[in-house]
Amino acid sequence: MAVIHRTTMQPTKAELIADWLPTRAWYTAGSEGPRPVRSGGFRLDDPAGEVGIEFMAVTDGEGPDAVTHLVPMTYRGKPLDGAESALIGTSEHGVLGTRWIYDGTHDPVLVGQVYELLAGRAVPQQQSVSDAADPTVTASLGAPAPEGDAALLDATDGPEGTDVRIEVPGGTPLTLRFHRTLRPAADEDRDGTGVLGRVTAEWTPAGAEGATARGAYVTVRGA
């Protein structure tokens, strides 16, 4: 289960993300530089209990020019071999000690659990409450989803998001599109044709005063 520790992190996740965002091909720069504020998201469990998995929506800016970005992250107790370019940063956790924080689209644990979520075998968890399912997150996959580990083949950043190619049991390749700029437009208007599945969740837009928006965090297509 996702255990939430009520403690400190130095530097904070927001500080690390603010330094990291301008290095991304998909980042929409604000006039005053990145000032990300958490505005939504959810967590997934690592079956091995070693890696923290969080999908964080962060809103950058204010008013009509504000943009909400998706930042999937993994938290590890030691470095992930071969993932130096995906490191967002390190932080000192008040309970767990040093945590290596990665862009989760390059982490095989997060990618594997997204496949399990799409297949209906993983339960999304609330972002800030321990051991509490999040019923607002929905996931579906129209393609066959045989049991077994999905293998991360590669991840590519582009102006529209991050495309992650995976190989699922049986050798079928799929592409997971992580939508880095979240929009509340209807799924069919944004995703076009050829979508095999999606993960949909909520976030709070800037200035919405408690109202939520909803849209695709991840969509699936054939590789």
pLDDT of residue 186: 57
Q: Considering the domain boundaries, does residue 1 fall inside one?
A: no
Phi, psi (deg, nearest 5) at residue 154: -165, 165
The pLDDT value recorded for residue 30 is: 62
- Supply the range of the domain harboring residue 82: 9-222
The pLDDT assigned to 131 comes to 85
Q: Is the dihedral of CA 92, 93, 96, 99 positive or negative?
A: negative
Q: What is the pLDDT of residue 4?
A: 65
H-helix or E-strand containing 214?
strand 213-222
Specify if 184 maps to a domain: yes
Ranges of the chain with pLDDT below 50: 187-188
| Structural domain contains residue 140 | yes
Closest residue by Cα to residue 39 from 222, 205, 221, 196: 205
Count the domains in the chain: 1
pLDDT of residue 118: 96
Token pair of 40 as six digits: 């939504």
pTM: 0.92
CA atoms within 13 A on the CB side of 33: 5
Rounded Cα gap, residues 161 and 116, in angstroms: 21
Phi, psi for 187 (deg, rounded to 5) = -55, -45
Tens digits of residue pLDDT in 22-46? 999 999 876 667 889 999 999 999 9
Is 16 part of a structural domain of the chain? Answer: yes
pLDDT at 187: 46
Specify the DSSP element, H or E, that contains 147.
Answer: none
